[in-house]
Amino acid sequence: MSITTEAEVIGMQKVSDVVACTLKEMKRYAQPGMSTKQLDDYGADLLRSFGATSAPFQTYQFPGWTCISVGEEFCHGIPSKKRILSEGDLINIDVSAELNGFWSDNGASFVLGEDVHRHQALVDSSIAILNKAISHIKGGVRIAHIGALIETEAKKRGYRVIKNLTGHGIGRSLHEEPSEIANYPDRSNRQRFKKNSVVAVETFISTRSTYARTLRDGWTMVGNKGGFMAQHEHTLIVTDGAPIILTEMNEIPKH
Q: What pLDDT sits at residue 86?
A: 98
Annotated binding site for substrate: 76, 175
Topology classification of domain 6-250? Creatine Amidinohydrolase (3.90.230)
Secondary structure class of 174 (helix, strand, coil): coil
Query: What band does 110 get if pLDDT is binned at 50, 70 and 90?
Result: very high
Give the mean pLDDT of 29-41.
98
Annotated binding site: 76, 94, 105, 168, 175, 202, 233
Cβ distance 171 to 201 under 8 Å?
Answer: no
Domain spans of the chain, in order of start: 6-250
128 vs 145, 247, 250, 254, CA distance in Å? 17, 16, 15, 7
Taking the C-alpha atoms of residue 154 and residue 95, their distance in angstroms, rounded to an integer, is 24
What is the sign, positive or negative, of the torsion defined by CA atoms of 191, 177, 214, 74? Answer: positive
Whether 19 shows a pLDDT value over 90: the answer reads: yes
Annotated binding site for a divalent metal cation: 94, 105, 168, 202, 233
Taking the C-alpha atoms of residue 125 and residue 252, their distance in angstroms, rounded to an integer, is 12
pTM summary value: 0.97
Whether 255 shows a pLDDT value over 70: the answer reads: no
Residue 63, preceding peptide bond in cis (omega within 30° of 0)? no
Task: Decide: residue 118, CB within 10 A, 0-12 exposed, 13-18 middle, 19+ buried.
Answer: exposed
Question: What is the distance, to the nearest Å, from the Cα of residue 142 to the centroid of all Cα atoms in its chain?
Answer: 21
